A and B are shown apart, each in its own frame.
Chain A
Amino acid sequence: MISGKTLTAMARKWRRKATSSRGMISLLSDQVDKPFVADKGHFVVYTTDGKRFMVPLSYLDSSIFQGLFKMSEEVFGFSCNGPIRVPCDAAAMEYAVPLIGRGLAGDLEKALLNIVVPGRCTVSSTASLGPRPQVLVY
């Protein structure tokens, strides 16, 4: 029999874990005093609406980021004078990136890429995102 106290402790632990996994990617454009160098182990991309995302290096292995980079090359070419720009907006990025951290299978990642990148399937606002991430995973 699990006591109420234990349940509360477990809930706290799970909440901490969930918060830290969401924290793996951070939207920094509103934090004016943050220095413009990514934290250790991270890289930076900008979305089409100018929002800055700091992403763990391990995400470079995901099909989503490899697809986004390939499309960035096709749309913008290789830029040598500034940060990397990806051809999707912040809403699509916020939607897609937590899913990478949860370890989607390769074919699901590809399906997700079809959703987040305009031209494949336009996503212009959060309202048009449709089902929340959980729905896609299950």
Chain B
Amino acid sequence: MVSGLMNFLTACFQSRSKGYTRKGSDAAGKQDGLLWYKDLGQHINGEFSMAVVQANSLLEDQSQVESGNLSVHESGPCGTFVGVYDGHGGPETSRYINDHLFQHLKRCASEQQSMSADVIRKAFQATEDGFLSVVTKLWPLNPQIAAVGSCCLVGVICNGTLYVANLGDSRAVMGKLVGATGEVAAVQLSTEHNASIESVRQELYSNHPDDSQVVVLKHNVWRVKGIIQISRSIGDFYLKKAEFNRAPLYSKFRLREPLKRPILSAEPSISVHQLEPHDRFLIFASDGLWEHLSNQEAVDIVQKHPHSGSARALVKAALQEAAKKREMRYSDMKKIERGVRRHFHDDITVIVIFLDTNPISRASSMKSPNLSVRGGGVNLPPKAPEPNRWSIQ
């Protein structure tokens, strides 16, 4: 019984752990201290660049690029799938999404024999349901799992259509060629769910008319129930189901009044765009990037940089800005170890997807095999062994 549960936990959270320690191979990306990067790869619709810098002791950001078949059948839709999952309270939810969301999407696409906003919505729901069953099983032994959650940003490019689905405060921005001067404008594609946004607070107030404290301004930051900045996520069941908002969950997560209805939602905002020849590239990134760079600053950096290494250039620009705000040198900030590094900046994940406008090269790339790349990080402790968060004590 116990060994069965251990196997289950291992399968849930450590199935991809080998992927984080890959080193030296261009195909899998490279690790340089707390920076992981894959400077250039090829997806079915063009090139891509990917970079992750770790600040937390255990990397809470997870990410993936999948290209090729988007269904479980050979004859199903083909395209590119991008996922950025910014976890909070621990890495468990974002890891779970990284391991399950794309599989759910392929299954849903197979059932409907096409790609659609509805397929993506169903894949999000299946992932939320799957993680709920994990939390339900773990609760008796590790109740703090109920306070772990993740933002979830997904992009799917299929047959000239781009779908962007989002929960939380990661962001997708398009670089779009405008006018004849070669100027590239930033167009935000995702809708965010952070209580700092007036419309998000209004939505919370209208969904909870009996609770004037559903959002609270605390030290100049708006937080849902004074606890969390985002209003939608995968996980965070302590703010979705009453049975997970009670002892022995830490008191800082427990509400005074019993939870009558879910406060956080897992319903993604989905937008659909028909891609045009002037649509040059897409930047998908966790809020760690957008805290330091505006949409246009990020687009300008990608536009001026060669495709190869563009994601790494964005991460570097954000870190330089973070160092400036902390009134210290960038070269010194890079020396700070993970864990304490979180006080200087957040985990940052960046994926730049270049959109190939050449129909000939696009046709040839259709024959390319399926591709799967996961953003990496350092998860082995540098000094003492990290306690197993979910081991049976």
Q: Are B340 and A83 in contact (CB under 8 A)?
A: no
B346 contacts A78, C-beta separation under 8 Å: yes
- Let me know if A69 and B340 touch, CB within 8 A: yes
Q: How many residues of A contact B (CB 8 A)?
A: 25
Are B325 and A77 in contact, CB atoms less than 8 angstroms apart? no
With A60-B336, A77-B221 as contacts: A37 and B343 at CB distance below 8 Å: no
Residues in A with CB closer than 8 Å to B218 are: 77
Partner of A75, one of B219, B332, B333: B219
Residue A137 is within 8 A (CB to CB) of chain B in the complex? no
User: DSSP class of B's interface residues: helix, strand, loop or mixed?
Assistant: loop
Smallest distance from the beta carbon of B43 to chain A beta carbons, Å? Answer: 31
Chain A residue at minimal CB-CB distance from B229: A77
How far, in angstroms, from A85 to B151 measured CA to CA in the complex?
27
Q: Is the CB of A57 within 8 A of B292?
A: no
Place the interface of chain B in its size category.
20 to 34
Is there a chain B Cβ closer than 8 Å to A135's Cβ?
Answer: no
The answer for the CA separation of A80 and B331 in the assembled complex, in Å, is 19
Across the interface, do A57 and B343 meet the contact criterion of CB distance under 8 Å? no
Q: Taking the complex as formed, is A95 at the interface, i.e. its CB lies under 8 A from any CB of chain B? A: no
Identify the interface centre among A36, A43, A76, A82: most chain B CB within 10 Å of its CB: A43
Q: Are B327 and A38 touching (Cβ within 8 A)?
A: yes
| A-B residue pairs in contact (CB < 8 Å), sample of 9 | A37-B324, A38-B327, A40-B331, A43-B326, A43-B336, A60-B336, A65-B340, A80-B291, A81-B325
With A44-B328, A60-B336, A83-B325 already in contact, 9 other A-B pairs whose C-beta atoms are closer than 8 Å = A37-B328, A38-B332, A60-B340, A73-B343, A75-B219, A77-B221, A80-B345, A81-B325, A84-B326
Which residues does B use to contact A, with CB under 8 Å? 218-219, 221, 291-292, 322, 324-329, 331-333, 335-337, 340, 342-346
